[in-house]
A and B are shown apart, each in its own frame.
Chain A
Amino acid sequence: MKLSITLMTAAAFAVTGCTLGNTDVTLGNHTIDQIDPATGLPIPPQEQLPSEPDEPPAPPPRCDMGKQYTGFAGTMLEAGRVDNDMGLERARVKPYSALVGEYSRVLGNNPALIGQSATTFGQDPARWLTEPTSSAVTVYTAFRVAFQGCLTTTSVAGSKYATLPTNSTAAAECGAWARKFWSRDANPAEIDACVQVAMVDSAKEGTNTNPASSRRWAYACASVLSAAGFMTY
């Protein structure tokens, strides 16, 4: 009995490669071909021992695409499924039904144009959902809606938008808009893009105070509000 247990334990160690704490991976690989006459000790091998290859990085977790299904018409039902890394491809364009409320939520006013744009964005019938489609026209219409709403915000008499933007005020406001519209902080490049609109791209609106200042602010605001951070969820 004792012998059997001993043999089984040894076999288990052999199978699992357990070394019982011996970490000398070269153990048993030394060859004693030559003795140094000066020291009487074995001469170590000249060649470099091969180094352990680096472990390949662990692949990112992926979805198992699972079972295949053949439809009635012979079509593979899984065709077209996206097999991708987890965490990617999660953004989806907001449907019109969501956008209607989103502008008023972030701006505090309801641009009239959004209420007239159901067919542009493709409003689904009640209790029906299709993935929204985007196009040049939806993007431009979204920008128009954003501009209309932003202009309402920036045209309030006596507001901070009655003063022309400067690099610093524009950067601060662009950052604030990003947090409000996208629910995250903008990075410097994103803020620069917004500031560029306020300070350069919209400069042809003029250098007077209202209405030029409110319109320049509105363009910058609309650029942030037309970005994917707001248009998607």
Chain B
Amino acid sequence: MKTPFSRRQLIHGAGAAAGFAAASRLTGSGLFTGVANAQVAAEKSAVLVIYLNGGYNSVFPSADSYRAAGTFGITGDNTMKALANGLVVDAATFGTLPQYALDHMASVGVRHGITAHGAAQNANFGDGSRSYALRLASAMGGDAAIKAVQSGNRATPGPKAAESGVSLQTITDMKATIAALGGANDATIPDRAIGANSITAAKAMSGRLMAQSPGMLTQLNEGYQAGIATLQKPVQMFDYNAMATAYGMATTATAVTDFKSQIACAELMITAGANVVIANDGGWDTHGDRTAANVRNMMNTRILPPLKVFINRMMNRPDFNVSVAILGDFARSLPGSDHASAMTATVIGKYVKPGTTGKMAANVQLAAGTPSCVGLWQYLSAVSKTASMPLGANPHPSILL
């Protein structure tokens, strides 16, 4: 593909080619800056984790489990969509996803045996002291300054101690983020190199307080480090207008305040080189939702519209290997949509082989021997083609290409 170069872009492009392959795919002029170009040497892997706080009804990834009894609204064959290798999803929701997703989707069983929200959330994200997401983000490598992101203010459960210098960075405003990445045209922005040195000095001047409050100031300390690293990277340019328009957002709206903006932010950060982005959404503790009408409505009105945009823009690209994982505390039990003791996650990705290891029984139970929480992250490591497999071998080989 031939892309027009300006002198400035050429300089930036050279830097990007040396260090940051995914920096600048977006083209066109926009709110923040104009065109950049890509010199992509290899496929960039990334994982977007969509966490439904409260629970993830298994009617979405295992719809046929409920056909015989007609529970959770699976009252006819037309309420299900059969995909490959025994995978059957809910027709009204997941059945409407882009064809690429339907061809690259699997259901992954997580038999964690936990029915309490807090315990399940912690187990889904870590082993008690170490974060699966940060270990994965660290092992995936790359030279992006920000490798692990929480998109939006809603807190990510589980441990968050940094892994080999990779910490979870919260992004709540894309305009400020683009400015930090260097993609904003603003004369009041300080010089990046001097800024990096000045923040280095600020960090040094903070040493006394950091030593006295190492725990309370962990995030600030990590923020200094990541901020310095961000400014030391080559400038990255983004066409925010095009991205915002694609997600149905106003081009002047940059705050990450809802699920739509969380997914747009995920695209921004993955494009900027992040390895793992977590988007948390609330309201999924859906007691009494016996026909799953409530969760279908939330899925169709809030989750899937921006997710479809993300899939179309980010997932079928030769330069990226992006996987999306959808999970929650646990599945919803029957008959009252309460707390089940297991969960079936959905994973969509380039190296996902359609199929299921999370077929629920009619009583919302997974088969004995189904792996627990870490198994899902081991699988995500595998579909991300992470060389070191930091969490262990993939226990779901049947759904890996």
A residues near B (Cβ < 8 Å) are 71, 73-75, 82, 84, 87-93, 113, 117, 119-122, 130, 133-141, 143-144, 147-148, 178, 186-187, 189-190, 193-194, 196-197, 201-202, 204-205, 219-220, 222-224, 226-229, 231-232
Specify which chain A residues have a CB less than 8 angstroms from the CB of B177 in the assembled complex.
137
Query: Do residues B194 and A190 form an inter-chain contact, with CB atoms below 8 A?
Result: no
Specify which chain B residues have a CB less than 8 angstroms from the CB of A231 in the assembled complex.
206, 220
Specify which chain B residues have a CB less than 8 angstroms from the CB of A219 in the assembled complex.
190, 194-195, 198
Query: Do residues A144 and B179 form an inter-chain contact, with CB atoms below 8 A?
Result: yes
Query: Do residues A201 and B197 form an inter-chain contact, with CB atoms below 8 A?
Result: yes
Query: Do residues B118 and A135 form an inter-chain contact, with CB atoms below 8 A?
Result: no
Apart from A91-B213, A229-B206, 10 more pairs, CB < 8 Å: A75-B119, A89-B216, A92-B216, A136-B180, A136-B226, A137-B169, A137-B172, A139-B226, A194-B201, A202-B197
Specify which chain B residues have a CB less than 8 angstroms from the CB of A143 in the assembled complex.
190, 195, 198-199, 202, 227
Specify which chain B residues have a CB less than 8 angstroms from the CB of A147 in the assembled complex.
190, 195, 198
For B272-291 the 0/1 string (1 means CB < 8 A from A) is 00000000000000000000
Query: A134-B220, A140-B195 in contact; A228/B190 too (CB < 8 A)?
Result: no
Is B303 in contact with chain A by the CB < 8 A criterion?
no
Is B209 in contact with chain A by the CB < 8 A criterion?
yes
Specify which chain B residues have a CB less than 8 angstroms from the CB of A148 in the assembled complex.
188
B residues near A (Cβ < 8 Å) are 116-119, 145-146, 153, 169-173, 175-177, 179-180, 188-191, 193-195, 197-199, 201-210, 212-217, 219-220, 222-224, 226-227, 229-231, 254-257
Q: How far is the CB of B63 from chain A (nearest CB, A)?
A: 29
Specify which chain B residues have a CB less than 8 angstroms from the CB of A134 in the assembled complex.
219-220, 222-223
A-B contacts, 10 of them at CB < 8 A, read A73-B119, A133-B153, A135-B223, A136-B169, A136-B227, A144-B190, A190-B205, A205-B194, A223-B202, A223-B205
Q: How many residue-residue contacts, CB under 8 A, span A and B?
A: 184
Closest 6 CB pairs of A and B: A228-B206, A136-B226, A119-B255, A201-B197, A91-B213, A73-B116
Q: How far is the CB of A115 from chain B (nearest CB, A)?
A: 13
A74 CA / B339 CA spacing, docked (Å):
14
Report which of B117, B171, B216 forms a contact with A137, defined as CB distance below 8 A.
Answer: B171
Query: Do residues B118 and A140 form an inter-chain contact, with CB atoms below 8 A?
Result: no
- Among B169, B175, B176, B198, chain A packs the most CB atoms within 10 A around the CB of B198
Specify which chain A residues have a CB less than 8 angstroms from the CB of B255 in the assembled complex.
119
Report which of B116, B176, B198 forms a contact with A141, defined as CB distance below 8 A.
Answer: B176
Specify which chain A residues have a CB less than 8 angstroms from the CB of B220 in the assembled complex.
93, 134, 139, 228, 231-232
Query: Do residues B224 and A74 form an inter-chain contact, with CB atoms below 8 A?
Result: no
A223 CA / B194 CA spacing, docked (Å):
10
Query: Do residues A120 and B173 form an inter-chain contact, with CB atoms below 8 A?
Result: yes
Query: Do residues A197 and B195 form an inter-chain contact, with CB atoms below 8 A?
Result: no
Query: Do residues B205 and A120 form an inter-chain contact, with CB atoms below 8 A?
Result: no
Q: How far is the CB of B181 from chain A (nearest CB, A)?
A: 9
Specify which chain B residues have a CB less than 8 angstroms from the CB of A204 in the assembled complex.
191, 193-194
Query: Do residues A90 and B223 form an inter-chain contact, with CB atoms below 8 A?
Result: no
A152 CA / B177 CA spacing, docked (Å):
24
A205 CA / B229 CA spacing, docked (Å):
21
Query: Do residues B176 and A224 form an inter-chain contact, with CB atoms below 8 A?
Result: no
Residue of B nearest to A232 (CB): B209
Report which of A87, A119, A202 forms a contact with B173, defined as CB distance below 8 A.
Answer: A119
Query: Do residues B256 and A119 form an inter-chain contact, with CB atoms below 8 A?
Result: yes
Query: A75-B116, A91-B213 in contact; A135/B197 too (CB < 8 A)?
Result: no
Specify which chain B residues have a CB less than 8 angstroms from the CB of A89 in the assembled complex.
212-216
Specify which chain B residues have a CB less than 8 angstroms from the CB of A120 in the assembled complex.
172-173, 175-176
Query: A189-B204, A219-B194 in contact; A226/B199 too (CB < 8 A)?
Result: yes
Residue of A nearest to B199 (CB): A143
Query: Do residues A140 and B256 form an inter-chain contact, with CB atoms below 8 A?
Result: no
A228 CA / B207 CA spacing, docked (Å):
8
Q: How far is the CB of A164 from chain B (nearest CB, A)?
A: 15
Residue of A nearest to B175 (CB): A120
Residue of B nearest to A190 (CB): B205
Report which of B118, B176, B180, B257 forms a contact with A117, defined as CB distance below 8 A.
Answer: B176
Query: Do residues A84 and B215 form an inter-chain contact, with CB atoms below 8 A?
Result: yes
Specify which chain A residues have a CB less than 8 angstroms from the CB of B231 in the assembled complex.
140
Query: Do residues A133 and B173 form an inter-chain contact, with CB atoms below 8 A?
Result: no
A187 CA / B207 CA spacing, docked (Å):
11
- Among B153, B208, B212, B230, chain A packs the most CB atoms within 10 A around the CB of B208
- Among B153, B175, B207, B224, chain A packs the most CB atoms within 10 A around the CB of B224
A4 CA / B205 CA spacing, docked (Å):
70
A119 CA / B202 CA spacing, docked (Å):
23
A160 CA / B323 CA spacing, docked (Å):
56
A75 CA / B337 CA spacing, docked (Å):
22
A7 CA / B323 CA spacing, docked (Å):
86
A134 CA / B195 CA spacing, docked (Å):
18
A2 CA / B203 CA spacing, docked (Å):
75
Specify which chain A residues have a CB less than 8 angstroms from the CB of B198 in the assembled complex.
143, 147, 197, 201-202, 219-220, 222-223, 226
A186 CA / B201 CA spacing, docked (Å):
13
A141 CA / B209 CA spacing, docked (Å):
21
A138 CA / B229 CA spacing, docked (Å):
14
Query: Do residues B117 and A228 form an inter-chain contact, with CB atoms below 8 A?
Result: no
Specify which chain A residues have a CB less than 8 angstroms from the CB of B146 in the assembled complex.
136
Query: Do residues A196 and B201 form an inter-chain contact, with CB atoms below 8 A?
Result: yes
Query: Do residues A194 and B205 form an inter-chain contact, with CB atoms below 8 A?
Result: yes
Residue of A nearest to B192 (CB): A140
Query: Do residues B201 and A90 form an inter-chain contact, with CB atoms below 8 A?
Result: no
